[in-house]
Amino acid sequence: MRILLCGDVVGRPGRIVLEKYLKENRKNFDFVIVNVDNVAHGFGITPTMVSQFLSWGIDVMTGGNHITDQKEIFPILSTEKRLLKPANTSEKIPGKGIYETTLNDKKIVVIHLLGQKNMPMIGENPFTFMSGILQKYQLGVNASIIIVDFHAEVSSEKVALGHFLDGKVSAVVGTHTHVPTADYRILAKGTAFQTDLGMIGDYDSVIGMKKEICVDRFVGGFATGRLIPADGNGTFFGLCLDIDEKTGLPIDLNFIKKVY
C-alpha cells in the first residue's frame, strides 16, 4: 500500500500547491494524510477548508497546537472523524485524535500526538499515552497499518518517540517545526521515521510567515506586528511510504519535493 504523508500546510500558498499536487498525483497513492494546523491564514483551519481538503482526496487531516484557533471549527471537530486533534490533549477539546478505517480489507489507524516540550497547548506524556494505546492496537494483529503524526517542537523528543515506537507502528513522522529534515529512514526494527516533514508553503519566509515581520521581532526583541503568512509561490513536500500489507512495515520510502 502506498501512503502519502504531508506536514503543515501554511496559508494560501500552501493550499494552492497542495491542491495542484493532488490533482496531478492523487491517483498514485492509496491513502493521504495531511497536517492542517496552519491552513487558515497560518492559524488553524475553517470548516470550508475542511470540506475543500476532503474534496481533493485527502483521507485524514491532523492538527496540532493551533487546531482550535478558528473557533468555528469546534462543531466540525465534534462531527468530522477525519479531522484529528492531538489525542493526548484535554478531553475539553472536542473531537478525537485517533482515526480508524478499512481499505482493501486492511485496517488503517492514524494517531495524532502532541509533544510536551516548549508547546503552548498542554498534553499528556506522549510516551506513556502511546503505551496505553498500543494495548488496543497491535501491528499485524488487529491493525494492518499504524501511522503516528507527532506534532512537537523539540527534535530530540521526536527522535526518541520514533525509537520508542520502532517495530510497533508503521511510521512515526514529526510535524510543527516547518523545516524538512534529511533523516527520513527505516529504523532498526522496521518503522519509517522522519523528524519533521516540513511545511507546504512559501519557503521565501520564516517558517511560512512574512520574513520582514519575523526579522523585526528578532532584531527589536519584541513583537511589532501580527504574524502574517508569506504570499509568494509555494513548494510541495511529502513523504511517500510503500508498506508491506502483511507486516505493516515499510519496504521503501521516498521524500518528494516539487516547486511550483
Contacts 24+ apart (CB under 8 A), 179-185: 179/207, 180/7, 180/237, 180/255, 180/257, 181/155, 184/239, 184/253, 184/255, 185/253
How many whole angstroms separate alpha carbon 220 and alpha carbon 165?
A: 42
Catalytic site includes residue 151: no
**HEC secondary structure over the chain:** CEEEEEEEEEHHHHHHHHHHHHHHHHHHCCEEEEEEEECCCCCCCCHHHHHHHHHCCCCEEECCCCCCCCHHHHHHHHHCCCEECCCCECCCCCCCCEEEEEECCEEEEEEEEECCCCCCCCECCHHHHHHHHCCCCCECCCECEEEEEEECCCHHHHHHHHHHCCCCCCEEEEECCCCCCCCCEECCCCCEEECCCCCEECCCCECCECHHHHHHHHHHCCCCCCCCECCCCCEEEEEEEEECCCCCCEEEEEEEEEEC
Instruction: Give backbone dihedrals phi and psi of 82, rounded to 5 degrees, phi first.
Output: -85, 0
Please tell me which residue in 66, 112, 151, 176 is annotated as part of the active site.
66
Catalytic residues: 66
